Structure 1
């Protein structure tokens, strides 16, 4: 492992290198962040990121990170659990809590507890009250490069007390190294999605995708304004394929255990002044985030799949990103 930087409070950040299954990857201990992922025979990274760690302290703070303890948005930065009202860090426009708030998983330096040629496991403890969230969680994230050109991500949480647990991997994909997603096509195995209000909070119940701009049951270009949850299952279950991204002979297939897939086409996201891989600055729509998770604002929606985790319970979220790349 290499030391590649230091956080503002003086913690060393290390870089882990992995190789296996025709893939190479680098992972940062800051945010358990997948910094790069490359396929043999292709020079470009399949995931957006930067060789400069400082970028992850600035505009690229969610790029490739594990976010939580509750990914996506919690409306009003508050929820009720067992009769107690919890008030969270409202880090999005002083209204909502986004991706665990300003002390979320993506801001933490994780400990490496296992590291082999093609895998690594990192852990953190989510203390009771951090960011306003209840409970005491032991969290781990394991990255594995598997033989079928697949990246597997297992995120687990074990609770000492009743808590909330809905993490997500927040990587942005671009399969051909182009400046935007104009040549990409998206397919999602979902018959329904969640409409949003003006604050990007789910409004009402799931609605059919048929005859709407959110029908991706057949491949088509992703709408640059996408930032929506697709209801791919009613509850967490076994691994199944939920989405594909294709372009110019390249394909990414996503399998997950989760009932929701947040799709964000990075319409409001750039790398700012920070260079990405190969010195390329990322503009809007430079990559697409496919975030397996529960449905947004679940702590305030008893009709949604629950983010509750009981004392002594362990929950594991698994996703596999499988690649088939054509000639370089």
Structure 2
């Protein structure tokens, strides 16, 4: 068996342009499928403890469900992952107004974010990896953002069942950038994720208001349902009497990662599914990770022959903190001309006996 990447048809974009689906395979049987529509990961197949493959991420078999108001299954998110309050911020003395597409706020790049455009895709192979590099140019004024942004994302798969995601961007005007990958995971392949054991290496998290905008100060996880510093099942405290859980209707919060040094590629979170033995380790250079437990899925969406129900998937989105352009105390998200936005995250799939 060789490392391979195959290109096949994936229907047509709303303007009629043909779309492609790229299937990456490693020598151990892991499969990752990516479409050039939105640089979306549509499927990830990994083995369980008995070697049986299952698709452990939510997605669709045709492109049409991705065109509308979908929950960002597998999406490449940009220019800014997460929310910006009222879609407004001040940059170098000028007020910038973005699309508002999540109640009063701006979410995941706006109405036509990076998940709803065609990317240019270039497959590649090396001795040790197989991958896909996708590029997109976001024009000045796109969804209200200033400046032209040239973006590259690379998905690279190796034989250790590791999927490396590399982002790079440059701009000709100062603009906020916070790219992320929005895969929904269910390591059992189906059913609830309430029995998934989660560890998040974070002493603090970002409390939010009822519209999921940060309240400001970071809060300690100690003594709260947000303490995942040691393994805890998703369902253990998800329905606890806690204002923050009510605001998110479960977990939908950004965790402030404990980093050995700023920008270090370090272990952020671990997930274990006890029945299949599958595990997931997330390593990232990002300062935070958004932990979301599929609270707003309601069974009305069907993909791959399965109804996607509430709390049947979880997301670990490596990123900067929400509303950072309005929070000078948070790590900086403003990219300026002459600078290069560059960040990596690695999803390692494991098996335990």
TM-score, with length taken from structure 1: 0.94
Asked if 1:165 is matched to 2:172, the reply is: no
Deviation at 1:59, TM superposition (A): 5.2
- C-alpha spacing 1:110/1:120, structure 2 compared with 1 (3 Å): same
Deviation at 1:61, TM superposition (A): 4.9
Separation (CA, whole Å) in 2 of partners of 1:86 and 1:113: 34
Residue matched to 2:3? none
Residue matched to 2:35? 28
Separation (CA, whole Å) in 2 of partners of 1:61 and 1:247: 23
- C-alpha spacing 1:21/1:138, structure 2 compared with 1 (3 Å): farther
**Matched position secondary structure for 2:199:** strand
Separation (CA, whole Å) in 2 of partners of 1:164 and 1:108: 19
Gaps of 5+ in 2: 1-6, 240-249
Residue matched to 1:99? 108
- C-alpha spacing 1:291/1:247, structure 2 compared with 1 (3 Å): same
Asked if 1:256 is matched to 2:284, the reply is: yes
Residue matched to 2:20? 14
Separation (CA, whole Å) in 1 of partners of 2:262 and 2:155: 20
Deviation at 1:174, TM superposition (A): 0.7
Asked if 1:73 is matched to 2:100, the reply is: no
**Matched position secondary structure for 2:143:** helix
Asked if 1:134 is matched to 2:146, the reply is: yes
Separation (CA, whole Å) in 2 of partners of 1:4 and 1:282: 22
**Matched position secondary structure for 2:155:** strand
Corresponding pairs, count: 324
Separation (CA, whole Å) in 2 of partners of 1:32 and 1:53: 12
Residue matched to 1:202? 214
**Matched position secondary structure for 1:312:** coil
Contact 1:55 / 1:61 at 8 angstroms: preserved in 2? no
Matched ranges for 1:214-229 at <5 A: 214-222=226-234, 223=238, 225-229=250-254
Q: Which has the larger displacement, 135-144 or 116-125?
A: 116-125
Contact 1:59 / 1:272 at 8 angstroms: preserved in 2? no
Residue matched to 1:299? 325
- C-alpha spacing 1:266/1:36, structure 2 compared with 1 (3 Å): same
Q: CA RMSD in A?
A: 1.7
Deviation at 1:103, TM superposition (A): 1.4
Residue matched to 2:312? 286
Deviation at 1:236, TM superposition (A): 4.6
Asked if 1:188 is matched to 2:200, the reply is: yes
Residue matched to 1:266? 294
Deviation at 1:10, TM superposition (A): 2.1
Residue matched to 2:4? none
**Matched position secondary structure for 2:66:** helix
